[in-house]
Amino acid sequence: MRWRIVASLLCMIIVNPLYAQQTVPVQVAMPQQKALAQQLVLSGSLTAQQDASLSSRSAGLVAELLVDSGSIVSKGQPLLKLDTALAQHQLAQQQAALNAARVRQAEAQRLLTEAEQLSAQQLFPRTELNLRRAALASADAQLQQAEAALAQQQEVVSRHTLTAPFAGVIAQRYTDIGEWLALGTPVLRLVSLTPLLLDVQVPQEYFTALTSVQRIEVRADLAPEQALQASLLATVPVGDGATRSFLARLQVMSAGQNLLPGSSASATLYFERGDSQVLVVPADALLRHPDGNFSVFSILDNTAQRHNVTLGRSSERGVEILSGLPAGQAVVVRGNETLRDGQQVHIVSADKE
């Protein structure tokens, strides 16, 4: 009698786990017929859209350096000032000449007005009236000449101050206080921080397909966790004979991200595909075998069926299944890690994608 009780207990120990594992909860998703975008990953260097070696617009002695390497400047900000002593003296002379011209013009105008009043009363010779009109015209011309000379000298004085043509950072300084600068001598290198460009070399077999790029994603090595959007700014249709590639320039939409010119980055280009739509499953549905092959579990009549599959391209939208998976059957995306072929399952939720 005792051996029967022991045998019953053993049967319960063996049978109950089998019954408990008879059905396995799984989550499934239906494979989709869709056109999967082709991806191309390229590496390159971030460059500034504006990178200029600034030079003084006038020759002279450096009197003030208002910035140094690493200074962040805004557009129109003074960067360097030359000694303006001589230019200021000439400006004062031109201002005095303008004042004298105004006096002469006012006096000529007064004499002409007086002559016109007398001429109206037949008390002034017509010849003298014409002479005074000519004198006023000459005074007007001298006044205009003096105004132009003053404006020119004011421009000369203003050119003794070098201002930033655009916002950016001072990358290098080539001069110092007390140095004499000849006209056109580089003094500072200014580099803009936004927008940034990414130059990549596109293989020749992809160059003609650049017009079908759906979107471009950039990840800078300084911040690889940040995915930035970019647009195709320009292509250079002249190939490199050594690498058989073409230059493509991308504009990165940094959106305030702390990116730096000269750092490296990678761009992922997503192309439209011209072929027909293919069967695509979520990446979680794939099981990798030790030999490197892949399989997928499908569900038919609440029974798991393993299928060895051949993969195609992959993207964030899923993975292509080229062969091995029957159409119209849901695939397991959760709970497939310990699933066995032919095992009974029950579906706890279904992913519409």
How far, in Å, CA of 319 to CA of 332, rounded? 14
Q: What is the pLDDT of residue 255?
A: 55
Question: Cβ contacts of residue 44 below 8 Å, gap of 6+?
Answer: 198, 199, 200, 201, 264, 265, 266, 267
Q: Is the pLDDT at 3 greater than 50, yes or no?
A: no
Q: What is the pLDDT of residues 76-90, one digit of tens each?
A: 999 999 999 999 999
Residue 217: which residues within 8 A CB-CB, separation 6 or more? 227, 228, 229, 230, 267, 268, 270
How far apart CA 2 and CA 102 sit, in angstroms, is: 134
Contacts of 155 (CB under 8 A, 6+ apart): none
Task: Give the chain's radius of gyration (CA, Å).
Answer: 41
Lowest mean pLDDT among 45-54, 147-156, 267-276, 320-329: 267-276
Q: What is the pTM of this model?
A: 0.61
Mean pLDDT of 47-56: 92
What pLDDT is recorded for position 15? 44
What is the spatial distance between Cα 347 and Cα 206, in angstroms, rounded to a whole number?
A: 44
Structure letter (DSSP) for residue 4: H
In whole angstroms, give the CA distance from residue 308 to residue 179: 77
pLDDT (mean) for 167-173 = 94
pLDDT of residue 101: 96
Boundaries of every domain in the chain: 22-37+276-351, 85-158, 193-271
Which single residue is written with the structure tokens 């940094």? 254
Who wins on pLDDT, 70 or 17?
A: 70
**pLDDT, tens digit (0-9, with 9 covering 90-100), for 76-131:** 999 999 999 999 999 999 999 999 999 999 999 999 999 888 888 888 898 898 99
Residue type at 149 in one-letter notation: A
CATH class of segment(s) 22-37+276-351: mainly beta
For the chain, the farthest-separated pair of C-alpha atoms sits apart, in whole angstroms, at 160
Give me the pLDDT at residue 306, please: 93
CATH number for the domain whose boundaries are 85-158? 1.10.287
**Do 343 and 303 meet the contact criterion of CB atoms below 8 Å apart?**
yes
CA 302-303-306 angle, to 5 degrees, is: 140
pLDDT reported for residue 104: 95
Confidence at residue 70, expressed as pLDDT on a 0 to 100 scale: 92
The answer to whether the beta carbons of residues 42 and 269 sit under 8 Å apart is: yes
Per residue in 235-247, pLDDT tens? 888 877 777 888 8
Sign of the C-alpha dihedral, residues 202, 205, 206, 210? positive
Average pLDDT value for residue range 306-330: 83
Q: Mean pLDDT over residues 269-291, rounded?
A: 79
CATH fold group of domain 193-271? Elongation Factor Tu (Ef-tu); domain 3 (2.40.30)
Most confidently modeled range among 187-201, 222-236, 315-329:
187-201
Classify residue 167 by burial, with Cβ atoms within 10 Å: 0-12, 13-18, 19+. Answer: middle
Residue 32: strand pairing partners: 280
CA 111 – CA 100 distance, rounded (Å): 17
Q: Which of 12-16, 34-38, 216-220, 271-275 has the lowest mean pLDDT?
A: 12-16
Q: Which two tokens stand for residue 348?
A: 């706890």
pLDDT at residue 191 is higher than 50: yes
In the three-class reduction of DSSP (H, G, I as helix; E, B as strand; rest coil), residue 120 is classed as helix
Distance CA 136, CA 183 (A): 41
